[in-house]
Chains A and B, each alone.
Chain A
């Protein structure tokens, strides 16, 4: 369980997050949605202790993120950042192998290699495994980074816009994989998504943020209504129910 209590964040004088309280139980997919600058990425960074906590507390499975030793926390939670730039001359397999670092401090056992191979296969990277990262397209690199986070084999996975740069096919494959991982392995995913329809199709729960606050928090069917969407994003959009899932026609 991720427990966020009274978390606020300021950068210089600008409030980024205001008094966030959120509990995410173990298992399932939670989507974070909201307009640019709502504080979604900042919240994710705080949960993954990439930023120091200024106010409030965050616990993951009872571990306080600001006081738990790094290696211990890295076996519980993994994060994929939005703007990860890995520019050095690395092969895809090496990058994914780095995901095993918290477990063996760099020495890869046969079991580790097995997990790396699984991660490569799951994200359709087996053919690219021996390519250098710099020779990959943005979408392929994005998949390699997701595979690395997956290879970290943690109960909690925080993904900041994992669909960046992905084509339709790979976006769908990635969301299906994440859903399958959450279901079969009882993992918890917190995913920042810009496409509300992806959230509708794959998330159990959607948390909507705006201006540093959580303003709605419900199952997709209850949250994705024209009224709520208008308060979050500031304009009215049509919502149709197709096959039991809300479908937002936000581009019309």
Chain B
């Protein structure tokens, strides 16, 4: 049953990828295909990274509403970026090796995410408090980023600004190979941890009783989430509600919370929404710009509905 649903999702995902590559091919086909293939690889990666990071994050925090981006993780990443521009200057920042820079940003985000989230998890804050804390953190980092933006030179600001808006059209292809390595490694780790994630979902006490070293496991999983958030934010910028939308859809489609089914379902749903949506908007309707807006709009509505229906856990 679950296997058939995953297979169905996989077929739809492949169809979306083919559509993305094939719709409206004109001119130098080899050139266009190559261009599109690179972009497809980036979109697939972003879809998978956001989907998996959201599912893992929701399992660790024990709720179905919080996502890394609602907790301000991507704002944190952008703040880190702006901080680097501020400290190094626009030229210094632009001349840094992008992969080295990316690696440094990932490590920074991992450390900050753990420093921020572990105390919250240790105190077992309830959902409402976590949500509130997350919103406050998000606002704080966005404001700090805005403050830095005011302090720096307009030219340097342009360098930093281009990184801070979600754009599925202008994906950063220079980081693609490096990001793919990170994503792949994270996917393997998440998949191997699928049974552990099932146990973590039972909560700290039950998991400890079943032999999970809670602190160590949760820290490891948060580091993983941070890496995935860094990948997606670096490639396309922050997206607030995409993860929530995908995780909620995947749980409905999979019909189970067992991670052996939920993880692939979420990853495939992420690919379908992102690649399918992009194919529709960019090639079908002739403009890719609204996809980010539409995803945020639908995701925001899902968020509100989930709050209203009280599926807080």
Contact = CB atoms under 8 A, between A and B. Distances in A.
A and B: interacting chains:
yes
Interface of A: 45, 48-50, 69-75, 78-79, 81, 84-90, 94, 98-99, 101-102, 105-107, 149, 152
Contacts of B195: 101, 105-107
Contact of A75 (B194, B211, B251): B211
Contacts of B194: 106
Contacts of B257: 88-90
Contacts of B52: none
Contact of B210 (A74, A85, A86, A94): A74
A49 B209 CA distance: 8
Contacts of B210: 74, 98-99, 101-102, 152
7 closest residue pairs by CB, A with B: A106-B195, A74-B211, A71-B211, A70-B211, A87-B313, A102-B211, A88-B257
22 contacts: A48-B208, A49-B208, A50-B208, A70-B212, A72-B211, A74-B209, A79-B205, A79-B209, A81-B206, A84-B205, A84-B206, A86-B202, A86-B203, A86-B206, A88-B313, A90-B258, A98-B199, A98-B202, A101-B210, A105-B195, A107-B195, A149-B209
Interface in B225-248: none
Interface string B175-209: 00000000000000000001110110111111011
B199 A101 contact: yes
Contacts of B258: 90, 94
B124 interface: no
B198 A98 contact: yes
Interface of B: 194-196, 198-199, 201-206, 208-213, 251, 256-258, 313
A118 B175 CA distance: 54
Contacts of A89: 251, 256-257
A107 B260 CA distance: 11
A150 to B, nearest CB: 13
Nearest to A87: B313
A94 B201 CA distance: 13
- From A49, A90, A101, name the one whose CB has the most chain B CB atoms within 10 angstroms: A101
A224 B211 CA distance: 37
A101 B195 CA distance: 8
- From B201, B206, B251, name the one whose CB has the most chain A CB atoms within 10 angstroms: B206
Nearest to B216: A70
Nearest to A73: B211
A90 B256 CA distance: 7
Nearest to A45: B205
B273 to A, nearest CB: 22
A101 B206 contact: no
A88 B64 CA distance: 10
B255 to A, nearest CB: 8
Nearest to B210: A101
A70 B208 contact: yes
Given A87-B313, A90-B257, A101 B211 contact: yes
Contacts of B212: 70
Contacts of A70: 208, 211-213
A105 B212 CA distance: 10
A87 B64 CA distance: 11
Contacts of A107: 195
A127 B211 CA distance: 29
Contacts of A45: 205
Contacts of A106: 194-196, 198-199
Nearest to A107: B195
Given A74-B210, A152-B210, 5 more contacts: A48-B208, A50-B205, A75-B211, A84-B206, A106-B194
- From B201, B210, B211, B313, name the one whose CB has the most chain A CB atoms within 10 angstroms: B211
A81 B203 CA distance: 12
Contacts of A78: 209
B254 to A, nearest CB: 10
Contacts of A88: 201-202, 257, 313
Given A94-B258, A98-B198, A48 B209 contact: yes
Contacts of A102: 210-211
A7 B209 CA distance: 20
Given A88-B257, A94-B258, A105-B195, A81 B211 contact: no
A49 B256 CA distance: 30
Given A70-B212, A106-B194, A81 B205 contact: yes
A84 B206 CA distance: 8
Contacts of B203: 84-86
A47 B205 CA distance: 13
Given A87-B313, A88-B313, A90-B257, A50 B202 contact: no
